[in-house]
């Protein structure tokens, strides 16, 4: 079928369709009685990008190591000194970054025999030296990890010792003398040697421990130690990989985030045990650098997605960014390509997507500078990186006016709210469009909508001296429909801003400039059915804007899971990504959808007169989007019903003849708080139902996400 119009025109048709049906703003009661929907398959948009449902994750504390990586030991290269006593356990962290407290190494008494060697450390700045005597074993211990009965664990340890010293590694699952599996290591030498070991747990526990003890006279040094389940895949958790493969993500953005502005990529390559641990000043946490550039590529290959890399444009420089590109993509004849080959990866990774900097506009970023200077910096990076590989796709780190206002950036730059519009001094995206043509292929945007609050301009303009993210917000739970629609309003607002950029800079279309929303989330919302309804509306809005919004990355990728140290399941976020990825995924073709019930008119403007309209299709109180399958054999209709009642609507399809049995996939639960938790019976499920020939009137259940698939006559 001929691609007759861009998706933005489809969005315009939605409004036109509202007028065609003769509907000004209607009351909800009428909308419930006679909602009429028309789909025109001859008015088709560009196919959906393979990167519509991408993922983002960054090194926030131990987030990656707790969720994706199989390493069981914390601080395995001894960044921190080993203290004589166990400190008070920190309060548990709740929410998506839970279980991130680092476990500490403790002395197997007496503590005074442990000396942190600063003169000749194995890696980093410290290595423990354990002094021995003949009376009892001395060593170190770490506890607090999960063990599974019958499971094998493989590890290795770097040691050097006085001749004759014997070192033993023990895995413990209880306090008894027999509640452990111990391995006596081979004879040691006075130079560091890597020694492998395998141990097996004979009971389930959440308080597993490892002990490294020595006997004899003299001392022994520990350089680094590792312990992983034997069934790990390239160092990653196999049960997590299996789930993430189901999400049809297209790409993962990693590394990235605030972490990147102080990231030394040179420390993330080479043999893992010899990579020095670093302190991350963005999140005030230690990073072992175990999951580095090569590991990122392994992960992407195992999950079946493309990598998307952000380079350090905070404290970093153009030369190191270019060498990073060369390391990832260069031939072995280049210096960095040769380094990669020495690490065991002779074939280039051919990473296509590269982002220069992360949120450089924000006062929270390390190395922040003014826009006029950052534009010069960006150009230096772009020139150097393209010299290393001219085929890469470069994305500039933009920030539209609404982001500048909501995140306090406009106030940081002393730009009044009423002057913080398109191409104001606070508009970083416009800065690139004005001055940096040729040095970027796309522009990134980030958005985080906060649950339970709304931005209030009057409060913000009073200049209340509170935290950046609090300045303009007031409590406002709103109705369920308002709560659910709020994050999709951010996507819609970016669409309205993008239209204004295209009006001012027609070259955007001729150069095919696109947007990547490569960080987004509804923060504060719990992963339950209510949040899934909100994200379904976000997906619908992104599909309506898919002519220019070609990449998106959900924060965080592992926020699609409910997991502990040994097991994981898809939570409601993950279930939703799986549902849309399977039925409205890559190369689906959005088509025009009209209705007779427009969404409520916005009551609040953030940027000048924007937003002009609310997110959503003109099918209030429902939200809908329709698309043809890539082979044009099926018409798919996604319907989000966030009301507590069954809703019905009349459906008319032109441009295609529906034939054969239709299928419905419905995602719902008993109430808005329904959720899926590890070890419990799922409260939210997707049920598939054959509904026969497409009826003229369709119904959708309360608080449900419904995907209809209709066969199309060929």
689-695 long-range contacts, Cβ below 8 Å, gap at least 24? Answer: 689/663, 689/664, 689/665, 690/661, 690/662, 690/663, 690/664, 691/661, 691/662, 691/663, 691/664, 692/661, 692/662, 693/658, 693/659, 693/660, 693/661, 693/662, 694/651, 694/653, 694/658, 694/662, 695/651
Q: Return the SS3 of 291.
A: coil
Measured CA to CA, the distance from residue 263 to residue 507 in angstroms comes to 35
Q: How many CB atoms lie within 10 A of CB 564?
A: 13
Residue with tokens 């699609």: 560
Give the torsion sign (CA, 465, 466, 472, 478): negative
* Distances 221 to 34, 119, 404, 699 between C-alpha atoms, Å: 78, 12, 52, 70
In the chain, list all ranges with CATH 3.20.20.80: 54-65+234-590
* Distances 683 to 108, 569, 679 between C-alpha atoms, Å: 46, 13, 12
In the chain, list all ranges with CATH 2.60.120.260: 80-229
Q: Where are the alpha helices (DSSP H) in 259-413?
A: 293-303, 318-329, 335-342, 371-388, 401-406, 409-412
Q: φ and ψ at 160, to 5 degrees?
A: -140, 150
Q: Do residues 77 and 37 make contact, with C-beta atoms less than 8 angstroms apart?
A: no
Helix (H) or strand (E) holding 529: helix 529-544
Per DSSP, the residues of 8-56 read HHHHHHHHHHHHHTT--S--HHHHHH--EEEEEEEEE-PPPPTTTTEEE
* Distances 675 to 322, 488, 570, 642 between C-alpha atoms, Å: 45, 21, 10, 16
Measured CA to CA, the distance from residue 77 to residue 72 in angstroms comes to 13
Reported CATH class of domain 7-45+591-602+609-711: mainly beta
In the chain, list all ranges with CATH 2.60.40.1180: 7-45+591-602+609-711
Sequence-distant (≥ 6) Cβ neighbours of residue 78 within 8 angstroms = 105, 116, 121, 124, 126, 127, 128, 222, 224
First to last CA, the chain: 12
Tell me if the domain spanning 80-229 has CATH number 2.60.120.260.
yes
Q: Do residues 632 and 41 make contact, with C-beta atoms less than 8 angstroms apart?
A: no
Q: Return the SS3 of 287.
A: strand
Which pairing describes strands 205-215 and 138-147: parallel, antiparallel, or unpaired? antiparallel
The reported pLDDT for the residue numbered 432 is 97
- Which residues are 102's β-sheet partners? none
Where b means 16+ CB within 10 Å and e means fewer, 112-151 reads: ebbeebeeebbbbebbbbbbbeeeebbbbbbbbbbbbeeb
* Distance from the Cα of residue 372 to its chain's centroid: 30
Measured CA to CA, the distance from residue 383 to residue 390 in angstroms comes to 9
Q: φ and ψ at 708, to 5 degrees?
A: -100, 135
Q: Do residues 515 and 490 make contact, with C-beta atoms less than 8 angstroms apart?
A: no
The DSSP symbol for 417 reads G
54-65+234-590 has which fold?
TIM Barrel (3.20.20)
List, for residues 457-505, the tens digit of each pLDDT value.
Answer: 777 777 654 445 556 788 887 899 999 999 999 999 999 999 999 999 9
The reported pLDDT for the residue numbered 692 is 84
Q: Return the SS3 of 430.
A: helix
The residue ranges of the chain whose pLDDT is under 50 are 1-31, 87-96, 465-467
The reported pLDDT for the residue numbered 529 is 98
Q: Return the SS3 of 166.
A: strand
The structure tokens listed for 56 are 């983002």
Q: Do residues 443 and 398 make contact, with C-beta atoms less than 8 angstroms apart?
A: yes
* Distance from the Cα of residue 194 to its chain's centroid: 35
Q: φ and ψ at 678, to 5 degrees?
A: -55, 130
Conformation bin of residue 75: beta by default, left when phi > 0, alpha when psi is -120 to 50: left
The reported pLDDT for the residue numbered 100 is 67
């Amino acid at each position: 079928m001929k691609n007759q119009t861009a998706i933005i025109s489809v969005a315009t048709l939605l409004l036109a369709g509202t007028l065609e049906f003769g509907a000004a703003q209607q009351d909800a009661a009428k909308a419930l009685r006679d909602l009429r929907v028309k789909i025109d398959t001859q008015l088709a948009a560009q196919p959906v990008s393979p990167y519509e449902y991408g993922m983002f994750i960054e090194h926030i504390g131990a987030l990656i190591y707790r969720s994706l990586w199989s390493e069981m030991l914390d601080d395995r290269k001894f960044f921190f000194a080993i203290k004589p006593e166990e400190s008070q356990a920190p309060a548990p962290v709740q929410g998506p970054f839970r279980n991130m407290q680092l476990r500490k190494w403790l002395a197997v008494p007496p503590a005074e025999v442990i000396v942190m060697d600063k003169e000749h450390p194995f890696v980093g700045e410290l290595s423990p030296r354990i002094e021995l005597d003949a009376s009892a074993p001395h060593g170190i211990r770490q506890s607090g990890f999960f063990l599974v009965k019958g499971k094998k664990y493989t590890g290795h340890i770097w040691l050097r010792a006085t001749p004759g010293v014997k070192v033993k590694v023990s895995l413990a699952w209880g306090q008894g003398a027999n509640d452990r599996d111990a391995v006596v290591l081979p004879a040691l030498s006075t130079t560091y040697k890597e020694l492998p070991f395998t141990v097996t747990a004979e009971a389930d526990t959440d308080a597993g421990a490892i002990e490294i003890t020595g006997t004899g006279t003299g001392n022994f040094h520990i350089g680094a130690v590792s312990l992983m389940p034997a069934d790990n895949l390239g160092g990653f958790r196999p049960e997590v990989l299996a789930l993430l493969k189901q999400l049809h993500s297209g790409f993962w953005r990693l590394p990235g985030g605030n972490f990147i502005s102080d990231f030394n990529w040179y420390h993330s390559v080479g043999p893992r045990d010899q990579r020095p641990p670093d302190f991350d000043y963005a999140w005030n946490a230690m990073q072992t650098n175990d999951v580095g550039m090569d590991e990122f590529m392994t992960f992407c290959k195992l999950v079946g997605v493309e990598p998307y890399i952000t380079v350090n444009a905070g404290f970093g420089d153009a030369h190191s960014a270019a060498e990073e590109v060369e390391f990832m993509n260069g031939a072995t004849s280049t210096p960095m390509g040769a380094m990669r080959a020495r690490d065991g990866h002779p074939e280039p990774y051919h990473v296509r997507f590269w982002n220069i900097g992360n949120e450089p506009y924000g006062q929270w970023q390390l190395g922040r500078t003014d826009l006029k200077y950052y534009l010069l910096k960006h150009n230096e990076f772009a020139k150097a990186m393209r010299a290393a590989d001219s085929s890469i796709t470069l994305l500039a780190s933009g920030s539209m006016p609404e982001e500048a206002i909501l995140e306090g950036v406009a106030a940081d730059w002393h730009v009044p709210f009423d002057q913080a519009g398109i191409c104001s001094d606070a508009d970083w995206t416009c800065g690139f469009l004005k001055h940096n043509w040729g040095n970027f292929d796309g522009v990134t945007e980030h958005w985080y909508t906060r649950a339970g609050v709304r931005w209030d301009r009057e409060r913000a303009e009073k200049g209340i001296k509170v935290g950046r993210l609090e300045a303009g917000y007031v409590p406002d739970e709103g109705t369920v429909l308002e709560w659910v629609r709020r994050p999709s309003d951010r996507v819609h607002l970016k669409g309205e801003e993008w239209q204004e950029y295209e009006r001012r800079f027609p070259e955007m279309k001729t150069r095919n400039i696109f947007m990547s929303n490569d960080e987004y989330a509804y923060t504060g919302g719990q992963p339950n059915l209510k949040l899934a309804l909100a994200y379904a509306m976000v997906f619908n809005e992104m599909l309506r804007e898919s002519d220019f919004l070609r990449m998106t990355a959900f924060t965080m990728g592992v926020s699609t899971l409910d997991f502990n140290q040994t097991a994981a399941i898809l939570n409601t976020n993950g279930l939703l990504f799986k549902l849309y990825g399977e039925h409205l995924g890559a190369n689906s073709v959005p088509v025009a959808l009209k209705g007779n019930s427009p969404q409520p008119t916005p009551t609040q403007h953030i940027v000048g007169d924007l937003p002009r309209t609310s997110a959503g299709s003109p099918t209030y109180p429902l939200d809908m989007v329709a698309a043809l399958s890539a082979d044009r054999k099926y018409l798919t209709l996604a319907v989000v019903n966030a009301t507590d009642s069954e809703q019905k609507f009349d459906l008319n399809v032109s441009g295609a003849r529906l034939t054969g049995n239709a299928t419905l996939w419905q995602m719902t639960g008993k109430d808005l708080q329904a959720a899926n938790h590890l070890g419990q019976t799922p409260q939210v499920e997707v049920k598939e139902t054959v509904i026969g020939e497409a009826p003229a009137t369709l119904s959708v259940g309360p608080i449900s996400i419904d995907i209809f698939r209709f066969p199309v006559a060929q």
